[in-house]
Structure 1
Amino acid sequence: MSDSVVEQLLARSNTLGSDPRNTNFAGGNTSAAGTRTDPVTGRPVDLLWVKGSGGDLGTLTEDGLAVLRLDRLRALVDVYPGEEREDEMVAAFDHCLFGKGGAAPSIDTAMHGLLRAAHVDHLHPDSGIALATAADGERLTRECFGDRVVWVPWRRPGFQLGLDIAKIAEENPNAIGAVLGGHGITAWAETSEQCQANSLEIIHTAERFLEEHGRPDPFGPALEGYGALPDDERRERAAALAPVIRGLASTDHPQVGRFTDSDVVLDFLASAEHPRLAALGTSCPDHFLRTKVRPMVLDLPADAPLEQAVARLRELHEEYRAEYRAYYERHAGPDSPAMRGADPAIVLVPGVGMFSFGKDAKTARVAGEFYVNAVNVMRGAEAVSTYRPIEESEKFRIEYWALEEAKLARLPKPKPLATRIALVTGAAGGIGKAIAARLAAEGACVVVADLDAGKAAEAAAELGGADVAVGVACDVSDADAVARALDEAALAFGGVDLVVNNAGLSISKPLLETTERDWDLQHDVMAKGSFLVSREAARVMTAQGMGGDIVYIASKNAVFAGPNNVAYSAVKADQAHQVRLLAAELGGEGIRVNGVNPDGVVRGSGIFAGGWGAQRAKVYGVKEEDLGAFYAKRTILGREVLPEHVANAVFALTAGELSHTTGLHIPVDSGVAAAFLR
């Protein structure tokens, strides 16, 4: 029976969690009760399978379930010390686990175990939270559902809330669920199928009620000058503002950003009531834990000059930080965790959109999704009543909850390049692809830039999709194309702080056979291209004010004079000196510029596969398939250089251990004495 119970629970969870109308990402929890034979006594024992702490309903698996003995869980009622000490009950859940227990039990476990129903869903649908945050939510709940859904006044999630819901459910035997004031909904039933049906009934009934009874302009009339800018102008403005805003949002801790210009956000910011509503902040605990208690909102019309907008954002940021510190000091007690950071997680710019921030791209994306949920909640509440979120003091109790702090402390240590945004040119194959893969593996968000847009997109997908990498088309010899690539980086992740100039090609010919076109093509791509990319990257990094790294993939040919290679070697020497020049110029901005000098990388190299290998093999009088071994034999270590070896050097330069190093070239050539740096 138990296996069937778990399968039904997972199927229900995945179905409900896959639709954002039902609950937000990682929000809510589900449970099912059943029996299993106790391996110690051989007797049947009643168990509860409930989504554990963390995780997401839409992707929940059995590993994400906590498994507890119901008799022990319900026996905790007799030792419950009261609301003032209810946090102690979370530790008590561990003594109720069955076997290895599965995932760690969440704070909502009591809600599921104390209700006398076999199946329970706790969800955060926009429609349900709209009623839950309405000023007269209790009346509206009665009007919407009659006696099928009951009202539970706001209480912080925990053991007491579980007791409250269980008592109200017992007193209302006809009820299929409850609206939890300021929070969300809970539904229950004796079968998994009926529980899912009850959850959906509550959600859809609330949606219809809001639609049928709501006023058409819940956010008030349009605010003149605050409407959405035209698409191209809007994205151009967003790309220009993103690095500035990211730098502000990273004052305390580096953050990754995400830009959103959905109609939901733009319409909200175009309305007369958006300043009042934004100032009230979000209400559902799942929302404000990710969005902070309120966003930072630019109070200028959409067409305000860019310079004025930037200056005002800086002023508002100072005000936001002061207000946040005051919020902390108003509510913090002697045992409160230290303030985690005073920067906004959500920044709203009328006519442009929303910038959301987090410790990685996924967290930034989810924060933005939660604020969209919050806007939908405000719309619903204002349509039928007045939006009234939970009290600020209650938000603080959750944001700076000791249990929340303990959860944060359990998170794995960040990877070395976490929060860093990298742009790698020529990254769809060969050395560039190896570099992009290494940077992504070490925690960076990566913009895969390549002349071939399709291959760039494919390479980005291989790295893990849009929360890890994006592919962009970029001809590095075209200044406009380079600017567009940096704009895409800003829109995808908030800016850039690690750039690798890797794009290149080579044509091996003797001097008298080298054409002007041969010379110009290689200098356009590598000398001019590196210059254009570095210039645009420096603009973004300077706007961010967070420093950064620029790495040139040069070559041992920058210092080694080989035959039939004048154009390529000359341009590599150009790149090598750009490293020194830019290191000297950009150091004051905290931007470090370094280079890597590889020997010939034959295996996995796009350049060698494109004809360069055959040309060099002919020069040295060896077979093309033996070229890598030929290069290895002439080195001190006798080892062939591969793309991942170059990637290792880029990582070493940018991962933080060489924080005081700039203007350096690292040889990755297995030891070519003639290329030793002097």
Structure 2
Amino acid sequence: MTNPVVAELIARSNRLGADPRTTNYAGGNTSAKGTDTDPVTGTPVDLLWVKGSGGDLGTLTENGLAVIRLDRLKSLPSVYPGLEREDEMVAAFDYCLHGRGGAAPSIDTAMHGLVDVPHVDHLHPDAGIAIATAADGPALTKEIFGDRVVWVDWRRPGFQLGLDIAAVQKANPQAIGVILGGHGITAWGATSDACEANSNEIISTAAAYLAEHGRSAPFGAATHQPLEQTVRAERAAALFPVIRGLASTDRTQVGHYTDSDVVLDFVGSERLAELAALGTSCPDHFLRTKVKPLVVDTAPDAPLEAVIDRLKELHAAYRDDYRAYYERHATPESPAIRGADPAIVLVPGVGMFSFGANKQTARVAGEFYVNAINVMRGAESVSRYAPIDESEKFRIEYWSLEEAKLQRMPKPKPLATRIAFVTGGGSGIGRAIALRLAAEGAVVIVADRDGEAAENVAREIGGTDAAISVVADVTDAEAIHKALETGVLAFGGVDLVVNNAGLSISKPLLETTEQDWDLQHDVMAKGSFLVAKATAKILIEQGIGGDIVYISSKNSLFAGPNNVAYGAAKADQAHQVRLLAAELGGYGIKVNGINPDGVVRGSGIFSSGWGAKRAAVYGVPEEKLGEYYAQRTLLKREVLPEHVANAVFVLTAGELSHTTGLHVPVDAGVAAAFLR
């Protein structure tokens, strides 16, 4: 049974974490002190429940709490070795844990445990950080809050900060919390409700002051107007693969695009370059966004090629600048540089491109930079934005404790950071491929002529951080362009293309009409060509290689009866594989094919009448067609959609890095279709 103190803490945390005015994703932490029964002695024990490392307030559950014995935690100051060795105290928290399970204690545990009040909230609200990063923050804090909130100078999160805040709270019994210079706020209360009310009071009071006293144009005049929405989306889709390729110089990244009013106002402002160069301040912000963004200095309507050329120059300069930043502050004990590419790229008139190891990380980085824009606006409206020193940012970015956290992260899945575009993804083989690629770490653009089917598969994969659906008739070049534009704006580009869309009409030669021939060649031969052409452009612009996989057929090699249009279209696809492998290899793009035998179960083609016609050709009941196909193979096994998906994974996951122009049979062994 959940302790009532814990239930209150979870409810409070979820409310605070669900409000974007209060904190940001995975930012801040909350705690409660109370009593529970020690299962060993049967006697009461005083405990601290505090959000653990890496959790998110909005989605916090009891498993996300670290449970600490207060008697042991309060004994730690007696063994504290001093500021120069305060990082050692993080390991000491492990000796204060109570019970089994739970989350690892975070760096802020001391703040929560040493402040002698039952309930504590540490949050990163934009309004609070605006005061915390104002040049005259101490005076503003006094003016806004009187003695109800106390200013605390910047100090890196850790044991000493916990001691400092505990001392401030003890010396100021009338105070409800503190403004942490350059960082955020901490509030406390005798009850959970009082603590939450105090947190909200600090945030709402700061926001009201900024609204009442703030200057109307803290970023200066608007020097660039946003492009019209449709034009803006087209320009963003054209730039995104190029930017993503540059941002993936050290390691491949997934992207996120934001063109909210907040972003467009900032990127179009007179003071964009000046303020962006100051970087973010709150540790949660710059750990996600890097020390500062890359700012593009071209006009919104500049020729696309000119913008791309300038992007490449600015990216090279950004990398040089980041390496210089690292070298200015690194010591022999510092972790190695983690990569010099930007996490945030700002383009006037267009918006913001953010990057990360997966879609969620990229999206959250963008959300954090929106928080940073709000902070800059607030601070500049009443004072001057003065973030923490660059040297302090480096101390946190390359903190040994942060490095240890990164080292504890699970190994990425084989297709992590890959963006897949799967045609015919709404059913059958395409659905199986989309599911398998997503399970192996890729984000997936599920394309299908049937929008509802595509949406169902995307939903089956997960939320929009994992997959999206697009409607695409592969016989229509403009429809493919629009579908890819949507996919690029969602994830930043394309890396892994699966030409799977297909259909079949089984008729003898004399009954095959021109329409039958044209339809099958339009969908499979022409459709594959159009998809390959459109995606190859993106792959080349990214400059990071990629894969194109054709789902052809054993019928591209095997001559069966009543199959002339389908077999010829599949043979066309098969030769496209070889032709494109030869043409695109210089760009690091592999092109391979898969030749399945008849996939009956789960197949949209077979369920639409093809199965009945093929069964009639072979003189077997339709429900036995899969078994019939299996018996004519060397392995006597039926081919399922999942087997084709397995082959796509093997070809694209990295182990076959030097294989291109290959056709992989997935037919359980059809000797007549052996490659020669």
Alignment TM class, shorter chain as reference:
over 0.9
Once the two structures are TM-superposed, the CA of residue 143 in structure 1 deviates from its matched residue by 1.1
Could you tell me whether the CA contact under 8 Å between 1:68 and 1:101 is conserved in 2? no
Name the residue aligned to 2:669.
671
Name the residue aligned to 1:472.
470
Could you tell me whether the CA contact under 8 Å between 1:227 and 1:269 is conserved in 2? no
Residues 77-226 of structure 1 aligned to structure 2 (within 5 Å) = 77-100=77-100, 102-223=102-223, 226=224
Name the residue aligned to 1:575.
573
Q: Deviations over 1:363-404 (max 9, x none)?
A: 000000000000000011011111010000000000000000
Q: Deviations over 1:436-495 (max 9, x none)?
A: 000000000100001122221221111011111010111111111111122122111110
Amino acid at match of 2:280: T
Once the two structures are TM-superposed, the CA of residue 42 in structure 1 deviates from its matched residue by 2.5
Q: Which runs of 5+ in 2 are unaligned?
A: none
Name the residue aligned to 2:18.
18
Amino acid at match of 1:470: I
Q: Deviations over 1:221-267 (max 9, x none)?
A: 111xx210001110100001000000000000110111111111001
Secondary structure of the 1:100 match is: coil
Name the residue aligned to 1:442.
440
Amino acid at match of 2:312: R
Name the residue aligned to 1:378.
376
Aligned with residue 296 of structure 2, among 295, 298, 305: 298
Name the residue aligned to 2:63.
63
Name the residue aligned to 2:461.
463
Report the Cα distance in structure 2 between the residues aligned to 1:101 and 1:559, rounded to whole angstroms. Answer: 58
Could you tell me whether the CA contact under 8 Å between 1:234 and 1:351 is conserved in 2? yes
2:401 is the alignment partner of 1:403 = yes
Aligned with residue 244 of structure 2, among 243, 246, 264: 246
Report the Cα distance in structure 2 between the residues aligned to 1:460 and 1:345, rounded to whole angstroms. Answer: 27
Report the Cα distance in structure 2 between the residues aligned to 1:457 and 1:134, rounded to whole angstroms. Answer: 47
Could you tell me whether the CA contact under 8 Å between 2:156 and 2:396 is conserved in 1? yes
Could you tell me whether the CA contact under 8 Å between 1:2 and 1:35 is conserved in 2? no
Residues 235-634 of structure 1 aligned to structure 2 (within 5 Å) = 235-634=233-632
Report the Cα distance in structure 1 between the residues aligned to 2:301 and 2:593, rounded to whole angstroms. Answer: 42
Q: Deviations over 1:332-353 (max 9, x none)?
A: 0110000000000000000001
Secondary structure of the 2:220 match is: coil
Report the Cα distance in structure 2 between the residues aligned to 1:401 and 1:553, rounded to whole angstroms. Answer: 48
Could you tell me whether the CA contact under 8 Å between 1:346 and 1:355 is conserved in 2? yes
Amino acid at match of 1:362: Q
Report the Cα distance in structure 2 between the residues aligned to 1:122 and 1:510, rounded to whole angstroms. Answer: 74
Once the two structures are TM-superposed, the CA of residue 41 in structure 1 deviates from its matched residue by 2.6
Q: Deviations over 1:571-630 (max 9, x none)?
A: 000000000000011000000000000000000000011111111111111111111111
Report the Cα distance in structure 1 between the residues aligned to 2:452 and 2:171, rounded to whole angstroms. Answer: 61
Name the residue aligned to 1:29.
29
Secondary structure of the 1:536 match is: helix
Secondary structure of the 2:262 match is: helix
Q: Deviations over 1:480-525 (max 9, x none)?
A: 1111122122111110010000000000011111110111011111
Could you tell me whether the CA contact under 8 Å between 1:635 and 1:671 is conserved in 2? yes
Could you tell me whether the CA contact under 8 Å between 1:14 and 1:60 is conserved in 2? yes
Greater shift in the superposed pair: 103-112 or 488-497: 488-497
Aligned with residue 639 of structure 1, among 637, 640, 664: 637
Once the two structures are TM-superposed, the CA of residue 568 in structure 1 deviates from its matched residue by 0.4
Could you tell me whether the CA contact under 8 Å between 1:435 and 1:646 is conserved in 2? yes
Report the Cα distance in structure 1 between the residues aligned to 2:463 and 2:565, rounded to whole angstroms. Answer: 38
Report the Cα distance in structure 1 between the residues aligned to 2:32 and 2:331, rounded to whole angstroms. Answer: 38
Report the Cα distance in structure 2 between the residues aligned to 1:58 and 1:303, rounded to whole angstroms. Answer: 40
Report the Cα distance in structure 2 between the residues aligned to 1:588 and 1:65, rounded to whole angstroms. Answer: 52
Could you tell me whether the CA contact under 8 Å between 1:151 and 1:180 is conserved in 2? yes
Once the two structures are TM-superposed, the CA of residue 2 in structure 1 deviates from its matched residue by 6.9
Report the Cα distance in structure 2 between the residues aligned to 1:101 and 1:135, rounded to whole angstroms. Answer: 44
Could you tell me whether the CA contact under 8 Å between 2:359 and 2:465 is conserved in 1? yes
Q: Percent identity?
A: 75
Secondary structure of the 1:257 match is: strand
Q: Deviations over 1:394-416 (max 9, x none)?
A: 00000000000000000000000
Secondary structure of the 1:663 match is: coil
Report the Cα distance in structure 2 between the residues aligned to 1:97 and 1:490, rounded to whole angstroms. Answer: 46
Once the two structures are TM-superposed, the CA of residue 163 in structure 1 deviates from its matched residue by 0.6
Q: Deviations over 1:90-141 (max 9, x none)?
A: 0000011112252100000000000001110000000000000000111111
Report the Cα distance in structure 2 between the residues aligned to 1:497 and 1:269, rounded to whole angstroms. Answer: 29
Amino acid at match of 2:314: L
Report the Cα distance in structure 2 between the residues aligned to 1:511 and 1:102, rounded to whole angstroms. Answer: 69
Could you tell me whether the CA contact under 8 Å between 1:141 and 1:150 is conserved in 2? yes
Report the Cα distance in structure 2 between the residues aligned to 1:636 and 1:283, rounded to whole angstroms. Answer: 65
Name the residue aligned to 1:76.
76
Amino acid at match of 1:189: G
Secondary structure of the 2:98 match is: strand
Could you tell me whether the CA contact under 8 Å between 1:2 and 1:34 is conserved in 2? no
Report the Cα distance in structure 2 between the residues aligned to 1:187 and 1:600, rounded to whole angstroms. Answer: 65
Secondary structure of the 2:222 match is: coil
Report the Cα distance in structure 2 between the residues aligned to 1:156 and 1:495, rounded to whole angstroms. Answer: 38
Amino acid at match of 1:21: R
Aligned with residue 659 of structure 1, among 657, 660, 666: 657
TM-score (normalizing by structure 2): 0.99
Could you tell me whether the CA contact under 8 Å between 2:226 and 2:350 is conserved in 1? yes
Matched residues, number: 676
Greater shift in the superposed pair: 439-448 or 268-277: 268-277
Secondary structure of the 2:441 match is: coil
Report the Cα distance in structure 2 between the residues aligned to 1:632 and 1:37, rounded to whole angstroms. Answer: 63
Q: Deviations over 1:192-223 (max 9, x none)?
A: 11111111111111111100010111111111
Greater shift in the superposed pair: 321-330 or 138-147: 138-147
Could you tell me whether the CA contact under 8 Å between 1:31 and 1:112 is conserved in 2? yes
Once the two structures are TM-superposed, the CA of residue 145 in structure 1 deviates from its matched residue by 1.1
Could you tell me whether the CA contact under 8 Å between 1:558 and 1:572 is conserved in 2? yes
Amino acid at match of 2:193: E
**Runs of 4+ deviating beyond 4 Å:** none
Secondary structure of the 2:310 match is: helix
Q: Which runs of 5+ in 1 are unaligned?
A: none
Secondary structure of the 2:263 match is: helix
Could you tell me whether the CA contact under 8 Å between 1:509 and 1:565 is conserved in 2? yes
Report the Cα distance in structure 1 between the residues aligned to 2:467 and 2:263, rounded to whole angstroms. Answer: 25
Amino acid at match of 1:279: A
Report the Cα distance in structure 2 between the residues aligned to 1:375 and 1:268, rounded to whole angstroms. Answer: 7
Amino acid at match of 2:477: A
Report the Cα distance in structure 2 between the residues aligned to 1:364 and 1:411, rounded to whole angstroms. Answer: 17
Secondary structure of the 1:200 match is: helix
Name the residue aligned to 2:648.
650
Secondary structure of the 1:121 match is: strand
